[in-house]
Amino acid sequence: MSDFGITAFGAYVPRMRLDRGAIAAAHQWMAPSLRSLAKGARAFCNWDEDTATMAVEAARDALVGTDRTQLQALGFATTRPPYADLQASAIVAGALGLPRTLRTIDGALGQRAGTSGLLAALKAGERSLFVASDAPRGKPASTQEMTYGAGAAAFVLGSENVAARLVGAGSIAANFASHFRPEGEDFEYHWEERWVRDEGYAKLVPPAVDAALAQAGLQIGDIAHFAMPSPIRAIAAAVAKQLRVTGELVDGLEDGCGYAGSAHAPLMLARALETAQPGERILVVSFGQGVDALVFEVTDAIAAARPARGVSGSLARGIVTDAYLRMLSFEQGIELEWGMRAEKNAKTALTEQYRSGGQIDTFDAGACGSCGTIQFPQLQYCVKCHEPGSGFTAVSLVDAPAKVMTQTSDWLSYYPSPPLFGGFVQFDNGARLQMEMVDVGPEGLELGMPLEMVFRIKEQDRMRGYSRYFWKATPKLDGKKD
Amino acid sequence: MATGIKDKVAIIGAGCSKFGERWDKGSPDLMAEAFEEALADAGIERKQIEAAWFGCYGDAINVGNSSIPAATALRLENIPVSRMENMCATGTEALRGATYAVASGAVDIALAIGAEKLKDTGYGGLPPAFKGTFNDLWMPMVSAPAGFAPLADGYRTRYQISREDLKRAIAHVSWKSHQNGVHSPKAHFQKAVSMETILNAPMIADPLGLFDCSGVSDGAACAIVTTPEIARALGKKDIVSIKSLQITTSSGRETQMSEWDGSYVPNTRNAAARAYAEAGITDPRAQLSLTEVHDCFSITELVTMEDLGLSDDGQAVRDVLDGKYDRDGAIPCQIDGGLKCFGHPIGASGLRMAYEVYTQLLGRAGPRQLSNPSMGLTHNLGGVPYQGVAAISILGLL
């Protein structure tokens, strides 16, 4: 097999966490049995996060040290695209500043979209970026509401410094409707778990795994890490037992993340890669109207390929809340009284958005060609020396070190997650602008606090269903593992 | 070399409607209320007005754009009427337009009128502003208080003042204005409020609580201007003349460069320097009898005392707490209650301030009359401290 595979990877899990006990408590009056699932916390998207923004953050984690100009393709997988017809991969590529010549493709509407898309990208053999990002929604008081979560995993594929190479793969296609979600519906309709377990997992997974192992020329005993999501409780352990897996069962990320749909198997692969040693093999299995089984072999390059944050870093960054209605409101599961201020017309001039692309997508400040002053936004003349802006050089602020200069918490403006934190952000390179600050933990904001930039929904146009995106500042955390 | 407008133009009549929640009156009613007072005060007839400037900020909740609503409301026939909008500096801008018209000799008598109907929105506070198709893509959608609140951080950082000390000083700013509002029958709020109430009010945008924010009111104010010679010819004995009218607008330095530390309002300092030069003021602390400044939020007034050179930098907290700007202090500020208590119908505010200074200079202020004032300053701050418009007028007895 040619030397092609995963050269880098990254992950993102939203920082918002809801204690599952709070969900169970809210439904105690009508569904007391949910108590049995009330362990740990699940992740949920902040009001301004969606599968596109999570994909950007996971990709940024993965792309550190990668020459983005060399990427030929971007694949994106989700079951919850921001739009039915507007390519999320183009939004993601724009925010990442990927080359114009990029081939973008949004993948598959099923639970296996993450593994199928990754497999396709690996088979294509191009230098590419693949991101699976998902935020499945569970109906209030459903098992899914308790077990679901959100997150994204990203993989850079190439032939230099391959850290994990695909050595075998097998797939099964089956019209096995364990669940379905009609077009335009919020929630899935699930069939009985026992049937899914006995007729689905137990009978469909083994042949896919056998095929993958056969292609790799390996036995199940050669697998050091078995990564299979458990959207049904303990299903991974049961399948592992059936397959006679002797290796480690990779953490199912139930605590701190929760089942992240089509991104979950990729997240577990990323999690396994964070600890796997050179020479070890990882078996990744995902299930959904069939099965994908992928066998990876880890190389010596793995140490250099590990991301700053990754899955474990993401899990360590939670901001835990017990406000169940907050999650419900963010998911548009409940219509709260936001007052007349929320009636604001948030129409985006798509013409303006396109012609301002670099400034909005990749947060490009301009460095004056005459005096060197770095400034955002880039206007017609330099703010300092008044030389024409045509002489500016773009300087992205996305990864530029910055600090809180001034801040306030605004309780008056309409904001889906009050208060609205805002203030001046001073970049070390001299740029300065007023920004929204998000994911502010209970510790609040302090003057001089280091900040990092995150790609988020700037404003939602609820009348037309359009979200405009921009960068926001958030307190900088050390994403490295302890 | 330009000579400026000092003493070239006099105010011969001023009017101000009752400010407040004028549920039973629309903008045209409020304009008429102020206009009739000014006409009577000037002792002229409507037809003697040769040009007019109409200031109004938010057409979406008001009378619609253009000058037509004012011309129609006041039946200003066959004269040029201009529409002026420059955020909270709108009223002073209208006065500047009328003043320049008279100073240039283009007309003999001109009217400046500002009006705003804020209580037709259905909620408290100002409506969210549209910032432009480009700015909406990146600027945070913060409210007005959240735009001004960070002044507190900038100020505290620069002068190493504790959160508590600054909070007490800005509370005194509002306390003082409420004390003054008691004697201001046209004011929106005419009740004294205790320091305890102010300090414990609900937070709007940290550190600004409810009483750190100005009133949101309906109202109109106007001024009729002419030359001092015509004023005398009309029989005016005490003549209130315009010593200076200056406006400066942000070019983006504060927001885009790292030189500004957030502790002051550069625009106000620039406008003040220009205004003092035009008026020939060399020692504002000695020469100004009173000020009406843009206390949209208490922190703004505190910082403005330094920006106008009335307090040394870093000393406004002490001066405010010492009562320097109280009604019996060295330079009373907001003797009519200010934006805080008189109210803040945006397009009218600059003209309301001019109305108060004019009234004080003529000794007509009744229970709130100051003793022998000779010169007063008005100050508006449109937009936000870091991106806005500062307007200053200086009025004095000729």
What's the ipTM? Answer: 0.91
pLDDT in tens, B46-93: 999 999 999 999 865 678 889 999 999 999 999 999 999 999 999 999
Q: Which of residues 320-349 of A touch B (CB under 8 A)?
A: 339-341, 344, 348-349
Question: Average pLDDT over chain A, rounded to whole?
Answer: 95
Give me the residue from B128, B144, B208 closest to A344, CB to CB.
B128
Chain B nearest-CA distance from A263, in A, is: 29
What integer pLDDT is reported at residue B130 of this predicted model?
80
pLDDT in tens, A352-394: 999 998 999 999 999 999 999 999 999 999 999 999 999 999 9
| Cβ pair A415:B157 closer than 8 A | no
pLDDT band for position A481 (cuts 50, 70, 90) = very low
| Cβ pair A377:B138 closer than 8 A | yes
Give me the residue from A344, A377, A406 closest to B153, CB to CB.
A406
Rounded mean pLDDT of A16-34?
Answer: 97
For residue B125, give the chain A residue with the closest CA. Answer: A412
- Number of C-beta neighbours around residue A230 at 10 A: 21
Q: Does B258 touch chain A (CB under 8 A)?
A: yes
| Cβ pair B157:A375 closer than 8 A | no
What integer pLDDT is reported at residue A482 of this predicted model?
33
pLDDT of A413 over the 80 cut: yes
For residue B205, give the chain A residue with the closest CA. Answer: A410
Q: Does A398 touch chain B (CB under 8 A)?
A: no
- Residue A341 or A281, more confident: A281
Q: Which residues of B are less than 8 Å from A405 in CB distance?
A: 153-154, 262
pLDDT band for position A443 (cuts 50, 70, 90) = confident
| Cβ pair B262:A405 closer than 8 A | yes
Rounded mean pLDDT of A91-102?
Answer: 97
pLDDT of A318 over the 70 cut: yes
Give me the residue from B140, B143, B257 closest to A434, CB to CB.
B140
List the helix and strand counts (H, then E) for chain A: 14, 24
Q: Does B149 touch chain A (CB under 8 A)?
A: yes
| Cβ pair B133:A349 closer than 8 A | yes
| Cβ pair B138:A359 closer than 8 A | yes
Question: Average pLDDT over chain B, rounded to whole?
Answer: 96
- Number of C-beta neighbours around residue A78 at 10 A: 31
Asked if B295 and B175 touch (Cβ cutoff 8 Å), the reply is no
Q: Which residues of A are less than 8 Å from B152 in CB distance?
A: 408
Residues of B with a catalytic annotation lie at 88, 344
pLDDT of B45 over the 60 cut: yes
What integer pLDDT is reported at residue B47 of this predicted model?
97
Does the CA dihedral A300-A302-A303-A305 come out positive or negative? positive
Q: Which residues of B are less than 8 Å from A417 in CB distance?
A: none
Rounded mean pLDDT of A455-482?
Answer: 85
Chain A nearest-CA distance from B262, in A, is: 8
Do the bridges between strand B10-16 and strand B218-226 make them parallel or antiparallel, or are there none, so unpaired? antiparallel
What integer pLDDT is reported at residue B60 of this predicted model?
55
What integer pLDDT is reported at residue B189 of this predicted model?
97
Chain A nearest-CA distance from B137, in A, is: 7
pLDDT in tens, B295-334: 999 999 999 999 999 999 999 999 999 999 999 999 999 9
Chain B nearest-CA distance from A403, in A, is: 12
Tell me how far apart the alpha carbons of residues B68 and A306 are, in angstroms, rounded to a whole number. 67
Q: Which of residues 371-390 of A touch B (CB under 8 A)?
A: 373, 375-377, 379, 383-384
Chain B nearest-CA distance from A367, in A, is: 12
pLDDT of A345 over the 90 cut: no
Give me the residue from A340, A352, A458 closest to B133, CB to CB.
A352
